[in-house]
Amino acid sequence: FDMLDPEQPTYIGMFSQGTVLHTHNVQLDPETGRLYLCGTNNGLYIYDLAANPVNPPQVGHWGGPYVHDLHVQDGLVHAALIYAGDYRILDVSNPGNIQQIASVNSGEQFAHSTWTTADGNVCVVADETSGARHLSFFDVTVKSNPVEIAQYTENAISLPHNPFILDDVCHVAWYTEGYIALDISDPSQPV
């Protein structure tokens, strides 16, 4: 879809990739014009919409464990590997040669989704499980060494889905709690 006029999006075409049988979701990197396919049957795929938005060429593939969701920023993918229970950081600055920089277990080892602060120094990971902690905040100032600095849960049976960070607010969609905004001006103590 051409979104130059968001009030009247225009359909411009569809493409498919023969080896991808399904996709859980997609992420766009507006800085590079790249499209990331998450949750495929065959790894993480990267396409270049800047080169051709109707029939984008594939520019990268990571055949590692299943990537359920991701956030991409500044040449780095912050990947949620739901079944591996990991939060991983991948260097995709050269999408033809994707390098894993870091891997840590998420809070409940069921990493569903991620998002980073604008400066890229903090990442929130949502574990889509009930019980114990559900959001884990990591200091990723040193990309090769993510350090968990906080956890947050609304209650023992709450179930988060997706967090998004804008400025000092972490916006979180929950299956059980609806919408919650967390003040993360001090990310080690979300309120």
For residue 66, pLDDT over 70 is answered with: yes
Q: Give tens-digit pLDDT for 75-105.
A: 999 999 999 989 999 999 999 999 999 999 9
Contact predicate 183/190, CB 8 Å: yes
- Is the pLDDT higher at 130 or at 3? 3
In whole angstroms, what is the distance from residue 187 CA to residue 21 CA? 38
155-175 burial by CB neighbour count: b if 16+ within 10 A, else e? eeebbbebbebeeeebebebe
Q: Give tens-digit pLDDT for 101-151.
A: 999 998 778 899 999 999 999 999 998 876 656 899 999 999 999 999 999
- Is the pLDDT higher at 107 or at 174? 174
